[in-house]
Amino acid sequence: MKREYFKSQALRTVGLVAGVAAVVGVLSTPVFADSTVKVGLWDKSDGSQGINLSAAEVKAGKVTFEVTNLSKNKEHEFMILKTDMTTKQFPMNSTKSRVDEDKIPAMHEFGDVEEGETKSWSTELTPGRYVLFCNEPGHFPAGMHTTMMVTP
């Protein structure tokens, strides 16, 4: 009788351990979900401009940008570039009012966003450092740029 009792206890323990292992295995498997980043394009009456991000770091893969122009009277645009350059190293046009887009290959341009408008845009991003900016005349030099890291 004791032998049967110990045998049944051993089987229960093995079953419990196997069940826990299965659950732990499922829970420890990485889940790679698409990322969504909310972007706020803003300017102030003092002439300062900028970009706010809901996340400064995302996982590589499909990233959706929900871009809102928070300005009351200015159109903005949204561009991203994978680069190790600092914003001071960006090539500028002859009047220094915009980034010289012809000198920067592989830039992603989302396009114009009207005052008060929100647009969504999705793209595949690989690991690295990205600069996000507006290239309307005067906006980049006024500080309308930020960085985001994409991790593996």
**Cα separation of 60 and 48, whole Å?**
31
- At 85, phi and psi to the nearest 5? -70, 145
Cα 23 to chain centroid distance, Å, stands at: 31
Q: What is the pLDDT of residue 10?
A: 46
**Cα separation of 122 and 80, whole Å?**
12
Q: Which two tokens stand for residue 109?
A: 């341009």
pTM for the model stands at 0.76
**Cα separation of 62 and 47, whole Å?**
34
List pLDDT tens digits, range 65-96: 999 999 988 999 999 999 999 999 999 999 99
Residue at 55: amino acid letter: A
